Chains A and B, each alone.
Chain A
């Protein structure tokens, strides 16, 4: 087990929002914490797993993680569950009935909204779940609040037997600021008491719980009205008062230090009376919230005259840079001019796959096979949509590559009759939500070639363990899924299942080319580990013999970031066609010898690196 975070009580430490929540979860005496990795929420559970005296698990998906937490809370112990915003879409089936049974032990669900889409397929406002599921929502504005609100949330959860949503955003999860931490308290679970009328949600029982849920809404609104998490800060400039929540509060205070502000930390059910109180203090009220106009709409329905998304953006992060001009325009003042100039024009630097990534071989091969429609999924391999491969045509949601591929197959029109349908999915995504799609594909006799890229890690979020690599969150051995057996059990014919090494390009090419021609479901499993996890072993690096390089550029098409162009040229072919040449070098200090670039190099210009002078070169994690 990893070492305990050496932070004594009462010390003031620099913590990310994720670290602060993890600390509070431990201090609250939580017994079970479960999650599936997802940016920006991942570090919460990673850090929780470093604390003693609790059980943490990577679950296979967010729905299972919430169900595990529910079981613990039913058993009377405190539970925690966290996820990124899209995770709650998956978990919501459980949430919508959990609200009827309520909890016994406290249950806090931290949902991390990726406002500004730094690493997500969409932008959602998870505060909706509070309204939809009739559960309270807390919105911290920094790490200290994330810590304190988590502790308060457990008290509220147990007092009102209700799960509490802690709504975070990237700008809370990943910002580091100072937190004063406390001691762990022990929490003794009540034990599971059989109470079918409450815990067995069949229609007759569930129907009787619904009025209790609505009564709870009324009770919680009264709690919110009196809560110290909702407070008014008076100010001398009464022209505009602000009602705000989450990180937007900080931007309001930064931009308008003299304005009266109502800060909503306990924002659902919203404390309408407190909002009226602020409105009575000022000429006009602006609601500042990320991202949807939720509080604004509710206040308007209450008959309060407020302004919100008429003057503020419906998408992305707010900042002083957004707020100051919007309010200046509202007040008819000159709009403050930014002191900065226009950003200088610099090439884009999209994220790349790593040097020697096993996915490089797969996408290089896919880019060489014609007539494919390729449905993709969520993970590092989504980058296959970019240059130089351009070999991924769709990305929707976790596991969607399966269903989308089958739909493309069944729905193909005349124009696509000669197209082959390929689905690409990673190991963890497959276990998260792809298995059901594959079963559906087999059951309904689809014609799809599935590439199951098993790199033994949840790569994009930092290489977390999962059932595919046989290690639990503590790094201890656990049963490992056998993907070939699994897909066989789902009904894929054994002769249509191939396990290949993605660094062996000719085998990979032949296997893909052969399988796409077979009108059946095929599964090609690649079996090499992510280069960022301990299972990966570096090999001897390569270099380019400059005199031998013909500038054909085949190696560049692999897409490895260790390959660099040294000079460009042009050549006229015997056919009269002019072609561009790009002569290359390999950054041998980062090359790990995967051979992917060696294989397409016709002149044999790429050879093992033989340093002239032995300088200590370090490969991974090197700084400039």
Chain B
């Protein structure tokens, strides 16, 4: 079933990782694909490691992505983007929020947070594009837009057009009024542009 597309979305509990993956799944389904979405999540509602797997294609069997076969990684947090690099196909791209969410075990001095996750990922030879989704969301006026910024960020790295994903995002906000739909449209486009610019700078 190698024709399946494997997308890995990672972050920590409470960040909206699972919702983002679900919206990606909805987009794949809207195009007629079979899809399965699954999480490897710890027991806490908040604060633990979350990695959400989405596979889609003509027919999906195993829901889990086999290590070394993910086509793209969307990282909501820097160290988490690092943690799951081994899941990627060699040379596959990581789209990474530069946010650093430091857990209590690091604050207590028991472990160190990596100095520069972006550089660490680059060292592996994998492609990585970093952007500050949190600041982008804040500049748009609401930190909660970060989730939509992240989806905009991945929208040009899917085997389908960004419009399909944007539609699925906006559908979620339709009942909440035109203002919120417009804000999310801007957040999506801002995330998309941030990745586009970062890639252009690397090229």
Interface residues of A (CB under 8 A from B): 14, 39, 118-119, 142, 171, 174-178, 247, 250-251, 253-254, 257, 319-321, 338-344, 346-352, 354, 380, 383, 387-388, 460, 462, 532, 556, 559, 561, 563-565, 568, 580, 582, 584, 589, 615-618, 621-624
CA–CA, A561 to B69, complex, Å?
34
In the complex, whether B113 has a CB less than 8 A from a CB of chain A is yes
Given contacts A119-B43, A349-B47, contact A344 B104 (CB under 8 A): no
CA–CA, A349 to B81, complex, Å?
13
- B34 partner residues in chain A, CB cutoff 8 A: 177-178
Q: Do the beta carbons of A623 and B143 come within 8 Å of each other? A: yes
Q: Do the beta carbons of B82 and A346 come within 8 Å of each other? A: yes
- A565 partner residues in chain B, CB cutoff 8 A: 102, 107, 109
A sample of 10 inter-chain contacts (CB < 8 A) reads A171-B64, A319-B64, A319-B66, A320-B62, A339-B90, A340-B69, A388-B104, A568-B109, A616-B142, A624-B11
Nearest A residue (CB) for B113: A347
Q: Do the beta carbons of A321 and B36 come within 8 Å of each other? A: no
* A349, A383, A584, A616: residue with the most chain B Cβ atoms closer than 10 Å: A349
- Report the minimal beta-carbon distance from B67 to chain A, rounded to whole angstroms: 4
Nearest A residue (CB) for B49: A349
Interface string of B66-80 (1 = CB under 8 A from A): 111100000011011
- B202 partner residues in chain A, CB cutoff 8 A: none
Q: Which 7 A-B pairs have the closest CB atoms?
A: A351-B44, A340-B68, A339-B68, A347-B111, A352-B47, A119-B43, A623-B146
- A339 partner residues in chain B, CB cutoff 8 A: 68-69, 89-90
Given contacts A350-B48, A352-B48, A623-B137, contact A174 B39 (CB under 8 A): yes
In the complex, whether B85 has a CB less than 8 A from a CB of chain A is yes
CA–CA, A68 to B146, complex, Å?
45
Q: Which of B144-172 contact A (CB under 8 A)?
A: 144-147, 150
- A176 partner residues in chain B, CB cutoff 8 A: 22, 25, 35-38
CA–CA, A606 to B76, complex, Å?
30
Q: Do the beta carbons of A321 and B67 come within 8 Å of each other? A: yes
Q: Do the beta carbons of B104 and A559 come within 8 Å of each other? A: yes
CA–CA, A145 to B49, complex, Å?
29
Q: Which of B22-61 contact A (CB under 8 A)?
A: 22, 25-26, 29, 34-49, 60-61
Q: Do the beta carbons of A39 and B43 come within 8 Å of each other? A: yes
Q: Do the beta carbons of B61 and A253 come within 8 Å of each other? A: yes
CA–CA, A584 to B12, complex, Å?
22
Nearest A residue (CB) for B59: A253
Given contacts A118-B43, A618-B144, contact A352 B104 (CB under 8 A): yes
CA–CA, A352 to B48, complex, Å?
7
- B82 partner residues in chain A, CB cutoff 8 A: 344, 346
Nearest A residue (CB) for B99: A624
Quick one: which of B16, B40, B109 contacts A623, CB cutoff 8 A? B16
CA–CA, A621 to B147, complex, Å?
11
Given contacts A14-B22, A14-B37, A171-B38, contact A351 B109 (CB under 8 A): no
Q: How many residues of B contact A (CB 8 A)?
A: 80
Q: Do the beta carbons of B138 and A615 come within 8 Å of each other? A: yes
Q: Do the beta carbons of A563 and B143 come within 8 Å of each other? A: no
Q: Do the beta carbons of B97 and A254 come within 8 Å of each other? A: no
- A39 partner residues in chain B, CB cutoff 8 A: 43
Quick one: which of A175, A346, A388 contacts B108, CB cutoff 8 A? A388
- B87 partner residues in chain A, CB cutoff 8 A: 340
- Report the minimal beta-carbon distance from B42 to chain A, rounded to whole angstroms: 5
Q: A344-B121, A624-B150 are in contact. List 9 more A-B contacts (CB 8 A).
A: A250-B62, A340-B68, A340-B88, A343-B84, A344-B82, A348-B105, A460-B43, A462-B45, A561-B103
Q: Do the beta carbons of B38 and A174 come within 8 Å of each other? A: yes
- Report the minimal beta-carbon distance from B138 to chain A, rounded to whole angstroms: 6
CA–CA, A349 to B25, complex, Å?
27
Main secondary structure of the interface of A (DSSP, over half): loop
Given contacts A350-B105, A556-B108, A568-B109, contact A624 B83 (CB under 8 A): no
Q: Do the beta carbons of B36 and A343 come within 8 Å of each other? A: no
- Report the minimal beta-carbon distance from A37 to chain B, rounded to whole angstroms: 13
CA–CA, A97 to B67, complex, Å?
46
Given contacts A319-B64, A320-B66, contact A623 B147 (CB under 8 A): yes
CA–CA, A383 to B38, complex, Å?
25
- Report the minimal beta-carbon distance from B130 to chain A, rounded to whole angstroms: 13
CA–CA, A41 to B16, complex, Å?
21
Quick one: which of A349, A354, A388, A624 contacts B97, CB cutoff 8 A? A624
In the complex, whether B174 has a CB less than 8 A from a CB of chain A is no
Given contacts A253-B61, A352-B103, A623-B15, contact A561 B47 (CB under 8 A): yes
Nearest B residue (CB) for A346: B83
- Report the minimal beta-carbon distance from B100 to chain A, rounded to whole angstroms: 10
- Report the minimal beta-carbon distance from A147 to chain B, rounded to whole angstroms: 15
Q: Do the beta carbons of B90 and A14 come within 8 Å of each other? A: no
Nearest B residue (CB) for A176: B37
Q: Do the beta carbons of A344 and B86 come within 8 Å of each other? A: yes
In the complex, whether B141 has a CB less than 8 A from a CB of chain A is yes
CA–CA, A100 to B31, complex, Å?
51
CA–CA, A349 to B42, complex, Å?
10
Q: Do the beta carbons of A352 and B83 come within 8 Å of each other? A: no
Given contacts A320-B62, A561-B47, A580-B109, contact A14 B29 (CB under 8 A): yes
CA–CA, A346 to B138, complex, Å?
28
- B16 partner residues in chain A, CB cutoff 8 A: 621, 623
Given contacts A39-B43, A342-B86, A351-B42, contact A387 B104 (CB under 8 A): yes
CA–CA, A297 to B63, complex, Å?
28
CA–CA, A482 to B124, complex, Å?
59
Nearest A residue (CB) for B21: A176
Given contacts A171-B63, A340-B87, A341-B86, contact A582 B109 (CB under 8 A): yes
CA–CA, A118 to B22, complex, Å?
20
Given contacts A14-B25, A254-B61, A623-B147, contact A118 B107 (CB under 8 A): no
- Report the minimal beta-carbon distance from B89 to chain A, rounded to whole angstroms: 7
- A624 partner residues in chain B, CB cutoff 8 A: 11, 15, 76-77, 97, 99, 101, 133-134, 146, 150
Quick one: which of A14, A346, A351 contacts B26, CB cutoff 8 A? A14
- Report the minimal beta-carbon distance from A373 to chain B, rounded to whole angstroms: 24
CA–CA, A348 to B102, complex, Å?
11
Q: Do the beta carbons of B124 and A344 come within 8 Å of each other? A: yes
Q: Do the beta carbons of B68 and A254 come within 8 Å of each other? A: no
In the complex, whether B200 has a CB less than 8 A from a CB of chain A is no
Q: Do the beta carbons of A623 and B104 come within 8 Å of each other? A: no
CA–CA, A171 to B62, complex, Å?
10
